[in-house]
Every structure is written in structure tokens, then in C-alpha cells.
A and B are shown apart, each in its own frame.
Chain A
Amino acid sequence: MLNRRKFLTAAGLGASSMALTGCDVFDNQLRIGAPLRSFLENANDLTLHAQHLLAGRDSLAQEFTEADIRQPMRPNGVTAPNDEFYKGLMAKDFADWRLEVGGLVEKPLTLTRDQILAMPSRTQITRHDCVEGWSCIAKWTGTPLALVLDQAVAKPEARYVVFHCLDTIDRSLSGEIKYYGSIDLIDARHPQTILAYGLNGKPLPVENGAPLRVRVERQLGYKMPKYIHKIELVSSFSSIGGGRGGYWEDYGYDWYGGI
């Protein structure tokens, strides 16, 4: 009893002194890799498992009507890649662009834009939710990723789909950092997960990720890379980039972005 009382009093005093002196007392404990931070991050796995359990494989994100599209899709992140290679592709209207599908697949693919356009498509009016807090409704058209995965035939050990992008989002001592991201095979095979090439009835604009970006409608915007040129199936993403599964994840965002 006394010990708990002491503990609670200490906790209360600690909390109130923190409120008085500012909130920097935990800063060092919250950096990536710090034990406290790693402990708190377990909540993201709990969220992932709880939401997978509740949502199942195929629960659909809300779809809206044409009347709900009230504005152009707000572009975010990189909106005009400054990479020479990308600018070269753009100058020829992406005629030379190819989508590579590789990694843990039986049949690696190289698809042209026309080949992707010739595949069955899905059009959906959905709400894009940015991790920052804003939302924007737009109509997306694209090829279900499941169809591409069916063609390539995932090997049994494949667990994640990694999207490699053409845009440089950052620079480090070791060179340019291109945007990348990853999702699991459950979301990759979700009926609304499409490789989008159309936005609001027109070809996907550069600012929104031309020629191809992914839509993962049950997750937040940072999980939907733009300017995709390579899809890689892996069993683990620990050796890619910073090892946390995506550009923003390497900076501390949770890998699972369903909340």
C-alpha cells in the first residue's frame, strides 16, 4: 500500500513538474531506437492485428459519389520530381517508362504503360486521408494490384510488396534518397488496391504521381507511393533503405498506417 502510494505520488509529482517545466524531459527517450520509444511502438502492431481481425481481408473503404468531388485532388509531398531520368520519361509522355515486377516472384515482369492500360481496371471515388490530418475526395482509375501479382505469381515466402519510386525526396551522405514504401500481401490483394493511372477521369497528373501510383484505401496517404517504377516482393524489408519499410517509416512513422 505504502509503496504504491509512494509510486503514485512520485508519478503525480513527475507528471506535474513536467507540465510546469515543459515537455522536453522525454525527448531523448523518444528518438528512434530508444527503449521507451521501441516499447511504445508495440501499440502499432496491436493496432495492425486488431484492425486486420476486425476488417478481414476484403472490407471495403467507403466510396463516394461524383457529387462529393468538390475540388481537384490536393497534391502532397514531391509534386515535380527533379530527377533527370524522370524528366526524360516525362518529356516523351512516359512512352519509355516500364514497370518492373520482381523479387520473390516466379515470373518477373516488365510492363509498358499500354500493357497496364489494357488490363481490367477499377474506378473508385474514395477519400484520401493524409497523416497530417486533412482529407480530399477524388476518383481514381487503375489496375488492381492483385491482377499484376497473379501474373507474376508470388513465391510462398513473399510477405511484403515494396514500391520503388523515381522521385528523389531527400539527400543523405550516401547520395540521393528515393521515395519507397511497403504494404503486406493482405492489403496488396485488397480489391480496392489499384495501380492508378487515372484521376478524376483524366490521366494521372505529374503532381499526383504520373505515370503510376498506388492506392491503398484502408491506409493513410504516406502508404501510397507515387512515381512507381518497380514493385519488389520480399520476405523482409529490413535490408531496404533504413530498414523500417518506407521513406517516412525510416523517419519514425509507424509502418502500419491504417489509423
Chain B
Amino acid sequence: MSATLRSTEIAELDPLEKGPLVYRQSAWTRLTHWLWAISLLFLLLSGLQIFNARPQLYIGLESGFTYDNTILRIGAVDTQDGPRGFTEIFGKRFDTTGVLGWSGPAGQERQRAFPSWLTVPSYYDLGTGRVIHFFFAWLLSATLVVWLVASLLNGHFKRDLAPRASDLRKLPRDVADHLRLKFHHTRDYNVLQKLAYAGVLFVLLPLMILTGLTMSPSMNSVLPFLPDLFGGRQTARTIHFVVMLLLVVFFFVHMAMILAAGPLNELRSIITGWYRTDPPGPSAPNTKRGA
């Protein structure tokens, strides 16, 4: 019924006091969103597969074998109670049996940094992990370029993402609203949304691509300043891992916000582009941008 409405004016007359349905996400934004979602999922699962080949992170140009520049290590040790998995961060060791270091179905546990349900393929296969990883790395990068060009041309960047002076003023109120889980459904992103999306698209993903390229010996010959910029190939590998963790955090916050703000409406807007805004009223924040 209301989904067939294509005009904000008609929707505003909805007797059920629903706010207007607005066209919020362009086809470019929706298409690139889902390509990223699929790419990032497989990059994560294949990336953890690759990490399992050397479940250790270092700081510096190289990996210390006769000296210690390790900041994270996942492994397994034999104890009186049988093998135990551990995760060691800055020299502090935690027992992570069952998930990190030692995992598997009952009776078939084995030494494995990340468990098989977090890697693709599920069994240990570095070569295949790399095939998958680089395929989706290309897809992610190409999607980022397509999105950037489309967003500059269709105004998505300037209209929806670029921070404005007023955003700074709204920030404290926006933080307070988020903490109280009070969400305003408007055509525009709120300040924290802008920061989160721009942070992922302009900071985390480029950082991921650049640290990834820094690990490529061939790219080192083309862009030798990259390893210098990141403090060496092994530091770049560590940053690549940390940015992965930040993207995973973003994913969970993103999901939590969608659930809290109304999952059907949010999903509809990223699938069909149409978004139900708050009904206009004295208490509602401006639902329409100044025209």
C-alpha cells in the first residue's frame, strides 16, 4: 500500500500519522553498499585464513626470530590437562581454548589460530585463502572507486556526508540522543552517522587497501614510501589486522543501530531506497531539508 506511494506530499496525508516516505538512497549507494557487504565478509573470512598461516603480529621492517618484536601471538601449548589454546597480547597470555589457538569439533580439536567457522575454506588452505582474498580486494577497491565517482557526481557526498558547520553544534545533542537510544528518522544522516560512514569509507577502507598494498613485494618497488610511511612491512601487516578489528566493531555497531532504529525501515531504504521519516510535528526535528 504505502510502499507504492512515490510522492512525499501524498504520504504526508497518511491518516496513520506515519511520516512521509522519502527516497533516501540512490541506486549507486545501494548497489555499492551490498557489494561492500559481500566483499568485506569474504575478505574477513579469507583474511583470517591467511593470518592462520602465521598467527603472529610484529612491529618493524621484519619478523624477529632471534629478537622479540611480537605484539600478538595465537597458539597452543601442551599442559597437564591436555592442549590449551592461548592468545598473547603484548606479552600477556590469555587462555582462549575452544576459539583461538585450539579448536574444532569434540574429539577433533586441533591447533588453529582462528576456528574453522571463521575461515574460508573451513580447512587450512593458505593458497585458496589468498585466491579469495585478492579477488574480493579487487572487487572492494573497484566498488570504492565507482562509489566515489557516483557520489561526487550525484551529490551524495556533498549533500549527505560532507560535514557542515552546523554538524559540530549538533554533535553533543546527537551523542546524548544515541545514548538514550532516541532516534530521529530524517532524510539526512545524523552527525554520528556521517562520522561513522565517512570514517569507514575515507579512513578505514583506504587504510586497509594501502596497508594491503604495502605487504606486496611488487608494489614495494613501485611505492617504496608506503612501507616507510607505515613503519615497515610487518607494522603495515599489524595495522591491516587492527583495521580489520575496527571494521568488525563498525559492523556490530551498524547492526545494533539498525535494530534499535527500526530494522524493516532501515533495510527497506538500503534495498529499495525508500525510507519512512518521522511524522512532522512540533516535537519532531526537521524532516525536510530547507528548500
Do A and B make up one complex?
Answer: yes
Asked if A118 CB lies within 8 Å of chain B CBs, one says no
Inter-chain contact B128/A43, CB cutoff 8 Å: no
Q: How far is the CB of B115 from chain A (nearest CB, A)?
A: 9
Known: A5-B272, A127-B61. A258 touches B126 (CB 8 A): no
Take A135-B233, A253-B127 as given contacts and tell me if A27 and B217 are in contact as well, using a CB distance cutoff of 8 Å.
Answer: no
- Please report which residues of chain B, range 215-252, place their CB below 8 angstroms from some CB of chain A when the two chains form the complex: 215-222, 224, 227, 233-234, 237
Query: Of B130-138, B152-160, B180-188, B193-201, which stretch is located at the interface?
Result: B130-138
Q: Is the CB of A259 within 8 A of B119?
A: no
B280 near A: Cβ within 8 Å? no
A40 within 8 A of B: yes
* B45-53, B83-91, B163-171 - the one binding chain A: B45-53
Whether the Cβ atoms of A259 and B216 lie closer than 8 Å is: yes
- Assess whether B272 is in contact with A1, with CB atoms less than 8 Å apart: yes
Residue among B122, B123, B218 making CB contact with A258, cutoff 8 Å: B218
Q: Which residues from chain A contact B127 at a C-beta distance below 8 Å?
A: 248, 251-254
Task: Name the A residues within 8 Å of B233 (CB-CB).
Answer: 127, 129, 135
Cα–Cα distance between A220 and B102 once the two chains are bound (Å): 29
Of all chain A residues, the one with the shortest Cβ separation from B213 is A259
Which residues of A lie under 8 Å from residue B94 when comparing CB positions?
A: none
Distance between B113 CB and nearest chain A CB, rounded to angstroms: 11
- B221, A47: Cβ atoms under 8 Å? no
The stretch that binds A, out of B5-13, B18-26, B64-72, is B64-72
Q: How many cross-chain pairs have Cβ atoms below 8 Å apart between A and B?
A: 160
A22-B116, A23-B117 known; A61-B131 Cβ under 8 A: no
A150–B290 Cα distance when bound, in Å, is: 73
Check: B14 CB closer than 8 A to any chain A CB.
Answer: no
Out of A19, A46, A137, A253, which one reaches B130, CB within 8 Å? Answer: A253
Q: Does A91 contact B (CB under 8 A)?
A: no
A217 at interface, CB cutoff 8 A = yes
Which of B41, B53, B138 meets A15, CB within 8 Å?
Answer: B41
Q: Is the CB of B216 within 8 A of A51?
A: yes
Cβ of B120 < 8 Å from any Cβ of A?
A: yes
Q: Are B218 and A9 in contact (CB under 8 A)?
A: no
Q: Which residue of A lies closest to B125 (CB)?
A: A252
Contact B220 A62, beta carbon cutoff 8 Å: yes
Within 8 A of B (CB), among A123-171: 127, 129-137
Q: Are B128 and A37 in contact (CB under 8 A)?
A: yes
Q: Which residues does chain B contribute within 8 Å of A27, judged by CB atoms?
A: 121-123
CB-contact partner of B221 in A60, A74, A131, A251, under 8 A: A60
A43-B135, A135-B62 given as contacts; is B217 within 8 A of A26 (CB)?
no
Query: Which chain B residues border A82 with CB–CB below 8 Å?
Result: none
**Which interface residue of A47, A55, A133, A137 has the most chain B CB atoms within 10 A?**
A133
Whether the Cβ atoms of B62 and A127 lie closer than 8 Å is yes
| A-contact bits for B249-291, CB 8 A (1 contact / 0 none) | 0000000000000000000000110000000000000000000
Q: A68 interface residue, CB < 8 Å from B?
A: yes
Name the residue on B nearest A53 (C-beta): B222
A17 touches B (CB below 8 Å): no
B84-126 toward A: CB 8 Å interface, digit per residue (1/0)? 0000000000000000000000000000000011111111011
Contact at A15–B216, with CB atoms within 8 Å? no
CA distance A148 to B212 in the complex (A): 35
B121 near A23: Cβ-Cβ < 8 Å: yes
Partner among B41, B132, B221 whose Cβ is within 8 Å of the Cβ of A19: B41
Residue pair B216, A54 in contact (C-beta under 8 Å): no
CB of B202 within 8 Å of the partner chain:
no
Cβ-closest chain A residue relative to B45: A23
In the complex, residue of chain B having the shortest beta-carbon distance to the beta carbon of A58: B221
Q: In the complex, A24→B119 CA distance in Å?
A: 9
Chain A residues, Cβ within 8 Å of B227 = 62
* Contact in complex: B51, A22 (CB < 8 Å): no
Chain B residues packing against A (C-beta within 8 Å): 34, 37-38, 41, 45, 50-51, 53-54, 56, 58, 61-67, 116-123, 125-128, 130-132, 134-135, 137-138, 215-222, 224, 227, 233-234, 237, 271-272
Q: List 13 A-B contacts (CB under 8 A).
A: A5-B271, A11-B38, A30-B125, A40-B132, A59-B222, A70-B67, A127-B61, A130-B54, A134-B63, A135-B234, A136-B62, A252-B127, A254-B127
Q: Which 6 A-B pairs have the closest CB atoms?
A: A258-B218, A133-B54, A252-B127, A24-B122, A134-B63, A43-B135
